[in-house]
Structure 1
Amino acid sequence: MSGSLTVSGMGDLADQFDAFLIDQFGVLRDGRGPYPGAAETLSRLKQAGKRIIILSNSGKRSAENDRRLAALGFDPRSWDWFLTSGEVAWRILRAESVKAKIGVPRKCLLISRDGDTSPLDGLDLERTERGEDADFILLAASEGDVYPLSYYEALLAPAAKRGVACLCTNPDKIMLTRTGTAFGAGRIAELYEELGGTVRWIGKPFADIYRTALDFLDDIVLDRICCIGDSIEHDIAGATGAGLKSVLVTTGILETVSDDGRRALFVEHGAMPDFIMPKFIW
């Protein structure tokens, strides 16, 4: 595509950068499991002496994702940090709790997946299952493959009516599942805004997660850091906003989108990748 250089794999790029921020879903794996060759490519990149952060719009905290990726056959030594939007949000909530020193714990309506409570673990918060009495909403994940959007509307409408703030820690509007795609937590957050609620977005393409990652890589200049992802709206736009180079892989959510369709998305989101790669291979 015009303006983006097409490369065949990471072997074409490794020497140009000292650090990589690599998306999880759509680059390393999908809802069924790892992409062929992804684990080997990640290990080879680390063996080449690169600093690697896996940067994910997962509402789960970092340690939960470390364990999950290792269980899929990825070598935990092949990344330096698995940084998730859930981890960034947890740190923000912890700092706010310490600063506020509130005597009575706030009630949080946690919307997560697979019974995951890690976004709240260790925080002085009380969990509620009802929008009617929540003090705030933590929107960490979607079960859009289980429940229709109307389920979330009924759950959230009472909170929106009361002006309860929502923290969305997974801005992805589409998620990859074992059976295909479904609406993600970002779509639920949009619904909350449509209901009149306010949302603070944490994760790609927003600044907090990039600020945290770059603090970790503070000894590396920006033009030697490259982001790799499958979403123009999140990965490529986020990299552009952070002043970083980027690679768009054509796996993941855009796998069936034509070249013309991708060009239209570049225009829509005001971001174009520096490189396009068919998949995360060496």
Structure 2
Amino acid sequence: MNARIGEPQPGAGRPAPFAGERIVPGVGVFAPRYDGWLLDQWGVLHDGRRLFPEAVDALSRLHARGARIVLLSNSGRRARCNDERLAELGLDLRLVAATVTSGEVAWKLLKERREPPFRDLGRRCFLITRFGDLEVVEGLDLELVEDPKEADFLFLSGVDTPGKSIGDYLPLLERAAERRPPPPAVCSNPDRMAPEGDGFVFSPGALAEIYERMGGQVIYTGKPHRWIYREALARLGEIPQERIVAVGDSFEHDVVGAVRHGLAACFVTQGIHRDDFPLDAPPAPWAERIAALGARFGALPRWVIARLRW
């Protein structure tokens, strides 16, 4: 069995009941219950190209109520890059207390090297990053190597989409896997796909999954694993866990991650799962699909909304 470091993966089980009344029109229904909000980016606030106006309105209303909001993203890039991109899209960053990305968490863990497995990684790194972005390794005292077979570890940070396909990366992974055992990989974006406009593009998590099948060990720093939640909860401060809700569109990452860490989850259906949740369907089929996803991933959301809106 290939190793995944972060947490054990949720297993399948019998469908759990899901109450249809937890499918609500917007976050205003349950906003008074929560003081801390962890909000996903892609599929919730924007589609990679534009902000969703209703989501920005909801964000503004939550901020006006005194909620502490942390953006929690499986972006393999560092937090500053994400903030700059959000500002370019038109988001007022004063609405959020902090941005926590899996890329920033990976950078911090590789910088500090205080705990295993990061403490034990070597310095020779084969980097797979988006369009040559080197900020993800800036200041890390790494030797970037050109041959993945010669690396102490692979760093799966980003991919060149939509320009490249998964097939373009297979020779690199195969080359690394020639070594026995293969060098471990740090994956700072566990997502296998991400919304991009009206469609989807593959993400580094897809490469990580393939590398695992080749026998490689993968260390995940993003949702649903512990390191990113430790950082996010620290940014929320002293808010009790029962007063925190995490909003996201990925059942596997957002819902599982929230439940695993003792938080309420709000599932947004019109993100990566939108084909499974047609907007013209009545609540009963939605509840059945949510129960099936809950059985598959071992977690259920507290709330369900179509989109982030008030």
TM-score, structure 2 as length reference: 0.84
**1:10 CA drift (Å):** 2.1
User: How does 1:249-268 map onto structure 2 within 5 Å?
Assistant: 249-258=268-277, 259=286, 260-268=288-296
- The residue type paired with residue 101 of structure 2 is T
Could you say which residue in structure 2 is the equivalent of 1:280? 308
1:39/1:73 contact within 8 Å kept:
no
In structure 2, relative to structure 1, the CA distance for the partners of 1:8 and 1:98 (3 Å cut) is: closer
Could you say which residue in structure 2 is the equivalent of 1:20? 37
**1:64 CA drift (Å):** 0.6
Could you say which residue in structure 1 is the equivalent of 2:213? 194
1:54/1:79 contact within 8 Å kept:
yes
2:68/2:96 contact within 8 Å kept:
yes
Which deviates the most, 166-175 or 1-10? Answer: 1-10
User: How does 1:150-189 map onto structure 2 within 5 Å?
Assistant: 150-162=167-179, 163-178=182-197, 180-189=199-208
1:145/1:177 contact within 8 Å kept:
no
The one of 48, 59, 64 equivalent to 2:65 is 48
**1:63 CA drift (Å):** 0.7
CA deviation profile, 1:92-137 (whole Å, cap 9, x unmatched): 00011899xx9xx822111121322221011101223331322211
| Greater relative CO, 1 or 2 (CA 8 Å, sep 6+) | 2
- Percent of residue pairs bearing the same amino acid type: 41
Could you say which residue in structure 2 is the equivalent of 1:121? 138
Aligned equivalents of 2:146, 2:199: Cα separation in 1: 28
CA deviation profile, 1:184-221 (whole Å, cap 9, x unmatched): 21110011111111101111011111111112224111
In structure 2, relative to structure 1, the CA distance for the partners of 1:111 and 1:160 (3 Å cut) is: same
**1:12 CA drift (Å):** 1.4
Q: Secondary structure at the match of 2:37?
A: strand
Could you say which residue in structure 1 is the equivalent of 2:11? none
Aligned equivalents of 2:35, 2:198: Cα separation in 1: 36
The one of 226, 229, 254 equivalent to 1:207 is 226
CA deviation profile, 1:8-50 (whole Å, cap 9, x unmatched): 1122122110010000001001133111322222122112111
1:250/1:279 contact within 8 Å kept:
yes
TM-score, structure 1 as length reference: 0.92
User: How does 1:3-152 map onto structure 2 within 5 Å?
Assistant: 3=19, 5-96=22-113, 106-152=123-169
Aligned equivalents of 1:242, 1:120: Cα separation in 2: 28
**1:174 CA drift (Å):** 1.2
In structure 2, relative to structure 1, the CA distance for the partners of 1:143 and 1:92 (3 Å cut) is: same
1:3/1:272 contact within 8 Å kept:
no
1:43/1:75 contact within 8 Å kept:
no
2:70/2:236 contact within 8 Å kept:
no
Aligned equivalents of 2:72, 2:208: Cα separation in 1: 20
Could you say which residue in structure 2 is the equivalent of 1:2? 18
Could you say which residue in structure 1 is the equivalent of 2:258? 239
Aligned equivalents of 1:215, 1:32: Cα separation in 2: 30
**1:180 CA drift (Å):** 1.2
The one of 268, 274, 298 equivalent to 1:270 is 298
Aligned equivalents of 1:98, 1:55: Cα separation in 2: 22
2:149/2:183 contact within 8 Å kept:
no
Q: Secondary structure at the match of 1:119?
A: helix
Aligned equivalents of 2:24, 2:213: Cα separation in 1: 41
Give ranges in structure 2 of 5+ residues lacking alignment. 1-16, 278-285
1:161/1:196 contact within 8 Å kept:
no
In structure 2, relative to structure 1, the CA distance for the partners of 1:130 and 1:33 (3 Å cut) is: farther
- Give me the CA root mean square deviation: 2.0
Aligned equivalents of 2:221, 2:19: Cα separation in 1: 29
Q: How many residues align?
A: 278
